[in-house]
Amino acid sequence: MDTARRRPIELIAIDMDGTLLDPGHKISPRVKQAIHTAIARGVRVVLASGRPVAGLLPYLAELGIAGNDEYCIAFNGAIVQNLGTGERVVEFTLGIEEYRYCAAIAREVGVHFQGLDGERMYTPDLDISPYTVADSFLTHTPLSYRAVADMPEGMRFPKMMMIDQPEILDAAIARLPAGFAERFTSLKSSASFLDIFDGRAGKGPSLKRLADRLGIHRDSIMALGDHENDIAMLEFAGTSVAMGNAIPAVKQAARYETATNAEDGVARAIEMFVLQS
């Protein structure tokens, strides 16, 4: 890796699944040590994930990232939250009409569907997808079945998702109506998840808003990711790093590539671009 750059890294934005977390959904000792050392040197570490805030909190606690001067980017950037005060400095949500519309489209194209309101995960599917159950468990988000007609008015959703086996989901995405892309931003966060959110959100735009708030130039930001929903964040950051296990589009978007999430790729990138500088 060529480490030549104009500015030192002041902020590291790290995706969670497939990036920070190893295949067993753990933070490896080497990755944890690299992050702790970077923080000790005054570098901010911001977790940027498609997960809800609740799905980030155990890992933030493990890394010791807390307090009124720390933030996380959740729901693919639909929420940026101050970890000390709970203030949402960015909040873009979709309403119940969008939920009903997307649930109907999911049924039409033949995939499962779920929506997250910040507290719970809701699905209108009687045959609840095993991917939905797994997502609820991994992100520490309570899961409820509720018919679309029974969803209360006034509900707001930072993120909705179409989920299914990868080949079924890809076929469904190809059948989405033309107006869908104009109404929402939709990006795959894994082979089985299509995340749907307000077009003003996204990890890239919300990282920019947070950087502006903190007074940090983009050239002083390093971002690491592995999937489609990370691309905008990588394109914004001055130092962009794709994981070795990243999809080809991410590797093309990033300037650098590190090892896989099974090989301490995050630690290797931090050691190269932050700790050895």
* Residues acting as catalytic residues: 15
Give CA–CA dist 225/155, Å, rounded. Answer: 31
**Structure-token pair, residue 106:** 């999911």
CA 12 remoteness from chain centre: 14
Q: Which sign does the torsion angle of CA 150, 153, 154, 158 carry?
A: positive
Beta-strand relationship, 221-225 and 11-14:
parallel
CA 23 remoteness from chain centre: 16
Strand ordering across the sheet containing 79-82: 71-74, 79-82, 88-91
Instruction: Tell me the β-bridge partners of 113.
Output: 162
What are the angstrom distances between the C-alpha of 171 and each of 75, 111, 261? 24, 10, 28
- Which H or E element spans position 29? helix 29-40
Give CA–CA dist 147/134, Å, rounded. Answer: 20
Give CA–CA dist 126/114, Å, rounded. Answer: 12
Angle of the 96-109 helix axis to the 166-174 helix axis, nearest 10: 110
Q: Which sign does the torsion angle of CA 55, 60, 62, 66 carry?
A: negative
The candidate with the shortest Cα–Cα distance to 134, out of 94, 193, 196, 93, is 193
